[in-house]
Chains A and B, each alone.
Chain A
Amino acid sequence: MKRYFKRGPWEMAAMALIALGVIMLMQPFALVLYTYSFVTLLAGTALFTVASKFPE
């Protein structure tokens, strides 16, 4: 189980989600992207908080 929960890749995934969420929140192209930006951001931030407790 420990094999799957390593900090590096999970943190990277969380950071990608956060960055995607911020871009979706502020982009001027599609309202639908803006609509789903908060869920993406929240998922990324929650994942980052959890992943930072995983072993190295």
Chain B
Amino acid sequence: MNEHSGTISIADKAAATPRPVAVRVRGLSDKGIAWLFVGPTIVLLLAINIFPLIWTIYLSFTNYAANRSGEVKNVGTRNYERILNDADIWAAMQATAHFVIWTIAIETVLGFALAYLIDKKFRGHGFWTTLLLLPMMLSPAVVGNFWKFLYEPQIGLFNYAISYLTGIDRTSFQMLGEVSLAPWAIVIVDVWMWTPYVMLICLAGLRSIPDYIYEAAEVDRASPWRQFVSITLPMSMPFIMLAVLFRGIENFKMFDLINLLTSGGPGSTTEVASITLKRAAFESWRTGYSSAFAIILFVAVFGLANIYVKALNKVKQR
């Protein structure tokens, strides 16, 4: 301790380190110290991500059921054959495609349009940005429950608003109870909740475009439409693609919102892949079978993510 200054010098700190630790650390190379820091993260990654993945791949080739004790038999590729010949799972994949394609299309267009408006910095834009961001800050459990109330045919505000705007009797349709409307009901809720997220990413893209590019375009007498097509859109494209990637992967495995709103019904109209997977895993207790299904979904998402990252890098290089 340096008594005059009242502070601890580095030499004092080194001297205060317990001897065995100090010797051990001093004996390590730079590489060794780097491994010491990175090691726990790698171990955690292996334990939380890699091991469950490998275990799921192993289970997908067995007849394992988590609620049964007894011998686990290797069934080869039978689980995969069953899934890939099952018309019900095929229907679930189509329901997933409907949900993913429509939500991404609407969220991207709306999100970008909102970001473009917010970027114009009108009076009170901060207030409107906060207001627009509120839905994505809510828990899916809360959103699912209150949209269930909004969709109520007797007391729901949604039916009342539609009835007010179109003149249709508000009890004549049920958003969550009709085969033709239920898939759109879940699309509306997802768009309401996650458009702000797309907007936020697009806004970051728009704000990253330097002003001098627009100034140069104005000197060249480029019209606002020309500026939008030649500057705004191409320069914010990496951000739009990133938003599409994030939402695409999230919606491909969407579970909570749909489970709360329709639980896959009416019938199996809104039974997307994740709901089917949960039913096979925790209602029918076909763990091996559901593991195979999970691996199929994983390969699809992994493949798509590869394409997307490649495309994203290409756009960035441009």
Chain A contacts to B: CB under 8 angstroms: 11, 14-15, 18-19, 21-22, 25-28, 31, 34-38, 41-42, 44-45, 48-49
A44-B84 in contact (CB<8A): no
With a cutoff of 8 Å between Cβ atoms, the chain A residues found around residue B87 in the complex are 31
Interface of A (DSSP majority class) = helix
Residues of A within 8 A of B96 (CB): 26
A25 to B296, CA, bound (A): 10
Alpha-carbon gap, A47 to B299, bound state (A):
13
B85, B96, B304, most chain A CB atoms within 10 A: B304
Given contacts A18-B307, A21-B300, A48-B306, 13 further A-B contacts (CB under 8 A): A15-B307, A22-B303, A25-B93, A26-B93, A34-B93, A35-B85, A37-B84, A38-B80, A38-B299, A42-B299, A44-B303, A45-B303, A45-B306
| Contact yes or no, B307 A19, CB < 8 A | yes
- B310 in the interface, Cβ–Cβ < 8 Å? yes
The 10 closest A-B pairs by CB, nearest first: A26-B97, A18-B303, A45-B303, A35-B84, A34-B90, A28-B94, A15-B307, A48-B306, A26-B93, A41-B299
A38 nearest CB across to chain B (Å) = 5
Q: Which of B278-302 contact A (CB under 8 A)?
A: 296, 299-300, 302
Residues 57-111 (chain B) with a chain A CB within 8 angstroms:
80, 84-85, 87, 90, 93-94, 96-97
What total of chain B residues lie within 8 Å of the partner, measured CB to CB? 18
**Given the contacts A35-B84, A38-B84, A18 and B304 also touching, CB distance less than 8 Å:** yes
Cα-based distance from A19 to B307 in the complex (angstroms): 8
By beta carbon, the residue of chain A nearest B80 is A38
B303 and A21 form a contact (CB under 8 A)? yes
Contact at B97–A45, with CB atoms within 8 Å?
A: no
Residue of A nearest to B89 (CB): A34
Instruction: Note all chain B residues with C-beta closer than 8 A to A44.
Output: 303
User: Can you name the residue of chain B whose Cβ is closest to the Cβ of A34?
Assistant: B90
Partner of B85, one of A22, A31, A49: A31
CB contacts (< 8 Å) of A45 on chain B: these are 299, 302-303, 306
What 0/1 pattern do residues 304 to 316 of B give for CB contact below 8 A with A? 1011001000000
Instruction: Identify 27 residue pairs between A and B in the complex whose beta-carbon atoms are under 8 Å apart, listed by A's number.
Output: A14-B306, A15-B307, A18-B304, A18-B306, A21-B300, A21-B303, A22-B300, A22-B303, A22-B304, A25-B300, A26-B93, A26-B97, A28-B94, A31-B85, A31-B87, A34-B93, A38-B84, A38-B296, A38-B299, A41-B296, A41-B299, A41-B300, A41-B303, A42-B299, A44-B303, A45-B302, A48-B303
